[in-house]
């Protein structure tokens, strides 16, 4: 839907976006098991409201088995880039893919942002027919279209399966699947997250694994045998061609969330690695320009926590006698100063000052849940699950955290998991504190990604430096 002026929620630079009004609503994807369809919740996050901290609307999707996971806006601040061909699109629709079904739901947040409506469904057959991909994951609003990553797709036999995965593009207005983004994928096979440096015409992609490696649950033999992804891939954004592969080493299994610097003049970013097969640690790496090549360096390492009473561990961890941190998500504040690291296994959310990206300083930590600790929230008592998806408000003052990872993995690490959303308050000088009055209980529904009304720290890309 075109408008005559740029959408007021679009900002040229991350610094200006930090001056945006506070968010009033949070949108939450809800996974459900047991034959129930997945859903979508709207949470009131306006402290002036009588329904602050409560679910004010829910929507059930029409099918079962989707495994809603990540989602994103149809348009954002990248539409203000000088080369963007659609400057008058508006931030109105949320695209919610099913990671298991490969179906895409389109939700319209107008006229009432508190009650989004399902207005279109793109069936998986259409995605596969036009792009050759399946198992849809990350959604980013690009300058010229809507980009969606896919972990599966047609292999050599032409059937839907283990891929290779990649990226597909949808039209901003019609949501028509335009096709596969890559012209030349080089050696890339595995896929997971993607993002870009618009100031350097560079796309970065990461690797989880083929769908057959994760859909049925985690098999430790696959980790020990180093079958999961351990590489980053760098691409020419305009020419859509693979440029460089960087291998972190096959001991570093599952290279997941990518967070490039928001300032387009900065050519670096961070990626989280779930686990090392050598010592069960998790790690965060920084990628950066080294001359005319891209390079990576480990800058954060978080150790596993030993457990004496193995009976306290779920079956999946009993052979290890320890709880690995399991870094499953990271997020970067819009001023590129604070990096948040979710340790889903040990139940810790860490905050690092990354003003110097090569020398992060730990500035905050909170404990919520955890496989063994089950650290309590003041409003709810001991928790199941641990900090997983993390989202940061545009001004950097509020951090929202959910606790579900992926249905089959939830069942292995946290049997009987009950879903929750919490809010943390971030000190501008560094430090984190749990908001004792904000706890949203989802019961058997499992919340995954959170998006904030008007944008957040992982929704938008910017073309102008701060």
**Rounded average pLDDT over 205-228:** 97
Instruction: Note the pLDDT of residue 156.
Output: 77
Q: What is the pLDDT of residues 141-153, one digit of tens each?
A: 999 999 999 999 9
pLDDT digits (tens, 9 = 90+) for 398-414: 999 999 999 999 999 99
The position carrying tokens 């033999």 is 221
Residue 158 has pLDDT above 90, yes or no: no
Mean confidence (pLDDT) of the chain = 96
Q: What is the mean pLDDT of residues 454-466?
A: 97
Give CATH for domain 14-452: 2.130.10.10
Alpha carbon distances (Å) from 187 to 190, 246, 415: 9, 11, 38
Question: Predicted confidence band at 1 (pLDDT cuts at 50, 70, 90)?
Answer: low
Cα angle for residues 203, 210, 448 (degrees, 5° grid)? 75
Mean per-residue pLDDT, 314-337: 97
Extract the runs of DSSP E, i.e. beta strands, from 337-458. 338-343, 348-353, 361-367, 376-377, 381-382, 390-392, 398-402, 419-426, 432-443, 446-452
Percent of the chain with pLDDT over 70: 99
The residues spanned by each domain of the chain are 14-452
With 80 as the cut, is the pLDDT of residue 223 above it?
Answer: yes
**Per-residue pLDDT tens digits for 176-186:** 999 999 999 99
The CA distance from 141 to 456, in Å, is 13
């Amino acid at each position: 839907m075109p408008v005559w002026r740029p959408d007021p929620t679009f900002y040229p630079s991350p610094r200006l976006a930090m001056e945006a009004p506070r968010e009033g609503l949070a949108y939450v994807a809800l996974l459900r098991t047991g034959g129930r369809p997945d859903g979508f919740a709207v949470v009131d996050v306006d402290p002036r409201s009588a329904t602050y901290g409560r679910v004010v609307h829910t929507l059930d999707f029409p099918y079962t088995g989707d495994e809603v996971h990540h989602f994103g806006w149809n348009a954002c601040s990248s539409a203000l880039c000088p080369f963007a061909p659609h400057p008058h699109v508006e931030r109105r629709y949320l695209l919610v893919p099913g990671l298991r079904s490969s179906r895409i739901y389109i939700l319209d947040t107008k006229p009432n942002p508190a009650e989004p409506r399902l207005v279109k469904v793109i069936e998986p057959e259409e995605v596969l027919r036009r792009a050759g991909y399946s198992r849809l994951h990350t959604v980013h609003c690009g300058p010229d279209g809507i980009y969606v990553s896919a972990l599966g797709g047609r292999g050599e036999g032409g059937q839907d399966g283990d891929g290779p995965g990649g990226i597909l593009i949808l039209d901003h207005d019609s949501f028509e699947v335009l096709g596969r983004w890559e012209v030349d994928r080089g050696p890339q096979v595995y896929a997971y997250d993607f993002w870009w440096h618009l100031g350097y015409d560079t796309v970065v992609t990461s690797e989880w694994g083929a769908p057959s490696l994760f859909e049925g649950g985690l098999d430790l033999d696959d980790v020990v045998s180093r079958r999961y992804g351990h590489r980053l891939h760098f691409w020419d954004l305009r020419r859509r061609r693979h440029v460089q592969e960087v291998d972190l080493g096959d001991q570093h299994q599952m290279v997941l969330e990518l967070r490039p610097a928001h300032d387009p003049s900065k050519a670096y970013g961070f990626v989280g690695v779930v686990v090392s097969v050598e010592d069960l640690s998790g790690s965060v790496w920084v990628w950066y320009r080294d001359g005319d090549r891209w390079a990576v360096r480990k800058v954060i390492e978080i150790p596993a926590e030993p457990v004496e009473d193995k009976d306290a561990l779920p079956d999946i961890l009993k052979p290890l006698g320890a709880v690995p941190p399991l870094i499953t998500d990271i997020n970067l504040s819009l001023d590129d100063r604070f990096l948040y690291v979710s340790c889903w296994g040990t139940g810790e959310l860490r905050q690092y000052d990354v003003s110097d990206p090569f020398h992060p300083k730990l500035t905050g930590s909170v404990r919520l849940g955890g496989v063994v600790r089950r650290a309590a929230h003041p409003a709810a008592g001991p928790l199941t699950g641990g900090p997983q998806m993390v989202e940061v408000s545009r001004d950097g003052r509020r951090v929202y955290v959910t606790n579900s990872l992926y249905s089959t993995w939830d069942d292995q690490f946290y049997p009987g998991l009950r879903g929750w959303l919490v809010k943390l308050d971030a000190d501008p000088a560094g430090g984190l504190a749990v908001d004792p009055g904000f706890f949203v209980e989802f019961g058997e529904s499992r919340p995954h990604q959170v998006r904030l009304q008007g944008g957040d720290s992982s929704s938008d890309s910017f073309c102008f430096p701060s």
